[in-house]
């Protein structure tokens, strides 16, 4: 083969290869590439919430549970059922909130921790529902009737008079004299909440009660904390409840919210409108407004 023929053949070969390359690109045929390893997807960690623990137990030995969601620095505490079976709907609301956050953990911002104590007075709740733990409306024999004795713990003490704010051995509930225990925190249920609060130092606390259709601020000796008024307004506005800066319907001593005020923690009392319903949408809006107000993460 002559040198000239070799050059022509080489030229034809190059032209043919170039043509094939152009054609393959036009046809969208993938050009050969070194195989790339498939990117390994990092699996989303399965939500481990709620973390459930026990903060103490009742006079009759029933566990008082707390259900925690999130791991942020700001800790918001929600408490139902301090008045046991007399206000069972406040516990049922707390359980609904626990269910909601279990299914929707993303609504808890990264800088927030939410703790829910569904029933601070499980012995009183059990007088109506048969259990101090999880229950539903079918466990309430007659939702239209209220059982006054189920408000107290097994020692006959109104737990929301047993805290260390202006404590006296007897206090009032509407027109009634009620026992407030033998000393502040004489009752194991109140002591359990005291210890939990001192361990976790919440940024704010909301107590669910029934029924007055209002959100009440709290105070002890030094007036209402400004942050408490904000907390009250946010919950009341979003939940369409009345807002009452100062409870003066009748004198109260030893209430949990007042004790929290005395140690600088904003706390409000949410009194549901009824004693039979959980008023879910209103309280979901109220709680979410509070959560948003404590989060610095923009929505």
Site for Zn ion in 82-121 (CB under 5 A): 83, 87
The nearer residue to Zn ion, 86 or 185, going by C-beta atoms, is: 86
Looking at 125-133, 205-213, 214-222, 232-240, which segment touches Zn ion (CB under 5 A)? 205-213
Contacts of 155 (CB under 8 A, 6+ apart): 59, 179, 181, 187
Closest-approach residue to Zn ion (CB) = 209
Q: Does 75 bind Zn ion (CB under 5 A)?
A: no
Comparing CB distances to Zn ion, the nearer of 87 and 219 is 87
Q: How many residues does the chain have?
A: 299
Among the listed residues 209, 259, 270, 287, the single contact to Zn ion using CB under 5 A = 209
Give the list of residues 6+ apart from residue 141 with CB closer than 8 angstroms, or none.
Answer: 128
Residues 82, 190 contacting (CB under 8 angstroms): no
Minimum CB distance to Zn ion, residue 161 (Å): 11
Q: Find tokens 């137990």 and name the residue.
A: 57
Residue 194 touching Zn ion (CB under 5 A): no
Q: Under the criterion CB under 5 A, does residue 161 sit at the interface with Zn ion?
A: no
Query: How far apart, in whole angstroms, are the C-alpha atoms of residue 176 and residue 180?
Result: 12
| Cα(91)–Cα(279) distance, integer angstroms | 12
- The number of beta carbons lying within 10 Å of the beta carbon of residue 288 is 16
C-beta of residue 232 within 8 angstroms of C-beta of residue 215: yes
| Smallest separation (angstroms) from Zn ion to the CB of 97 | 17
CB of 173 to Zn ion, least distance (A): 9
**By rule CB under 5 A, what string of x and - marks binding of each residue 140-159 to Zn ion?**
--------------------
Helix (H, G, I), strand (E, B) or coil at 110: coil
In the complex, the smallest distance separating the C-beta of residue 51 from Zn ion, rounded to whole angstroms, is: 27
- Interacting residues of 183 by C-beta distance below 8 A, sequence separation 6+: 167
Residue 282 is a binding residue for Zn ion (CB under 5 A) = no
Q: CB 107 → Zn ion: shortest distance, Å?
A: 27
Total residues contacting Zn ion by CB under 5 A comes to 3
CA distance 238 to 284: 9
Omega of the bond leading into 211 within 30 degrees of 0 (cis): yes
Q: Is the Cβ of residue 16 or residue 148 nearer to Zn ion in the bound state? A: 148
Please report, as ranges, the residues that interact with Zn ion according to CB under 5 A: 83, 87, 209
């Amino acid at each position: 083969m002559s040198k000239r023929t070799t050059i022509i053949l080489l030229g034809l070969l190059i032209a043919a290869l170039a043509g094939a390359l152009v054609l393959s690109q036009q046809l969208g045929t993938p050009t050969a590439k070194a195989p790339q390893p498939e990117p390994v997807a990092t699996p989303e960690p399965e939500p481990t919430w709620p973390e459930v623990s026990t903060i103490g137990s009742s006079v009759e030995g029933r566990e008082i549970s707390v259900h925690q969601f999130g791991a942020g620095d700001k800790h918001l505490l929600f408490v139902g059922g301090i008045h046991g079976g007399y206000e069972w709907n406040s516990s049922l609301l707390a359980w609904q909130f626990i269910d909601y956050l279990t299914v929707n953990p993303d609504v808890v911002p990264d800088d927030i921790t939410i703790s829910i104590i569904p029933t601070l007075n499980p012995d009183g709740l059990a007088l109506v529902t048969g259990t101090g733990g999880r229950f539903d409306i079918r466990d309430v024999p007659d939702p239209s009737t209220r059982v006054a004795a189920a408000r107290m713990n097994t020692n006959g003490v109104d737990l929301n008079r047993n805290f260390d704010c202006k404590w006296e051995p007897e206090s009032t509930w509407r027109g009634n004299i009620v026992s407030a225990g033998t000393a502040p925190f004489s009752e194991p249920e109140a002591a359990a909440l005291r210890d939990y609060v001192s361990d976790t130092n919440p940024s704010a606390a909301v107590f669910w009660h029934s029924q007055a259709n209002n959100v009440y601020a709290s105070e002890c000796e030094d007036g209402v904390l400004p942050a408490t008024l904000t907390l009250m307004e946010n919950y009341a506005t979003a939940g369409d409840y009345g807002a009452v800066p100062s409870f003066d319907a009748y004198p109260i001593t030893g209430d949990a919210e007042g004790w929290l005020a005395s140690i600088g923690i904003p706390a409000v009392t949410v009194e549901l409108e009824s004693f039979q319903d959980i008023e879910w949408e209103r309280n979901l809006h109220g709680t979410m407004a509070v959560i948003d107000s404590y989060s610095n993460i923009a929505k």
